Amino acid sequence: MNEPDTTSSTVLAGSAYRDDGHLAARQSLYHWQQPRHDLPGVVLDHLSCQTGAVLDVGCGNGKYLTRIRAERPDLTVIGLDISEGILTAVASPVAVADAANLPIANHSATAVLAMHMLYHVEDVNAALAQATRVLSPGGTYIASTNARDDKKELDELWAQAAADVLGVDRGPLRISLSNRFALDDAPAILRQHFAEVHLVQLPGTITVYEPDPVIAHLASYRTWAGTIGVPFDATLDRVRLLLDRLIDRDGEFRISCRGGILVCHV
């Protein structure tokens, strides 16, 4: 099995995030999570003392910047993303930009956001150096990611389905984007660039009563289907069958989540 390339700007802009379809499918699974975490609300809480310009780097479909603009119209929120396509549905000001080469002047931003995106950056330290360059004194850097054991039940489910399709005892695990910048390692990485790093843990449990939300989530990784060592559609079909059996037996299927937000200061 080849290691999926989850950092190629060509792949990210041309397929994975050509529009917000795959991202929205992954985001939608959290509708079934308890407790529900208001991530944009957590970000807003940590921007309460900030004024000026906020950069949402890797803004995707604008989930965070839309909320911040609505509740903090005094802030100038600029969305930046590697994909021109996904930005078409996001209100200006937005720009196509690489997190490791921001087209922003030194010390001109009061805050920089990197929400569930640093695992897509080939050189994370270069992106963090760019963030510290553009932040003004007293500025805030906010990042988010998931732990390695986040949604471990989906790992087991996919591995079993893949094994059944391949006719082996143990199949390959599903693609986990956050492993390249996992919550387990993130504080130590960020402390190389920021004097203060505060971790906000956001655990929860997703409970579904039919397979469709899980299937949509797993299908959103189709961009990397050719590198995961198993027929993608056949494995999805097998996942649906296994989920139907589990839900018939237990009445539900539960997925444990372990994500977090990291709030940093220079």
Q: Report in angstroms the alpha-carbon separations of 164 from 156, 173, 244.
A: 12, 13, 15
Helix (H) or strand (E) run with residue 146 in it: strand 135-146
Fold of 9-265: Rossmann fold (3.40.50)
Kindly state the tokens that stand for 179. Answer: 């492993």
Q: What is the mean pLDDT of the chain?
A: 96
pLDDT tens across 180-189, in order?
999 999 999 9
Quickly list DSSP for 227-252.
GSSS-HHHHHHHHHHHHHHHHHHHS-
Predicted confidence at residue 228, as pLDDT, reads 85
**Which residues 6+ apart lie within 8 Å of 182 measured at CB?**
119, 145, 146, 147, 148
- Angle formed by the axes of helices 152-166 and 232-250, nearest 10°: 120
pLDDT tens across 138-155, in order?
999 999 999 999 999 999
Q: Is residue 256's pLDDT more than 70?
A: yes
What are the structural domain ranges in the chain?
9-265
Distance between CA 49 and CA 118 in Å, rounded? 25
Its pTM surpasses 0.85: yes
Burial label for 126, CB within 10 Å (0-12, 13-18, 19+), is: middle
* Mean local confidence (pLDDT), 80-91: 97
CA angle 190, 18, 3 (to 5 degrees): 60
Q: Tell me how far the alpha carbon of residue 8 is from its chain's centroid.
A: 16
Q: Report in angstroms the alpha-carbon separations of 41 from 27, 38, 71.
A: 16, 5, 10
Distance between CA 236 and CA 215 in Å, rounded? 7
pLDDT tens across 197-234, in order?
999 999 999 999 999 999 999 999 999 998 888 999 99
pLDDT tens across 86-142, in order?
999 999 999 999 999 999 999 999 999 999 999 999 999 999 999 999 999 999 999
Strand runs (DSSP E) across 147-252, as ranges?
Answer: 196-208
* Mean local confidence (pLDDT), 253-263: 98
Predicted confidence at residue 173, as pLDDT, reads 87
Predicted confidence at residue 227, as pLDDT, reads 86
Q: Is residue 1's pLDDT more than 50?
A: no
Nearest to 57 by CA among 93, 99, 14: 99
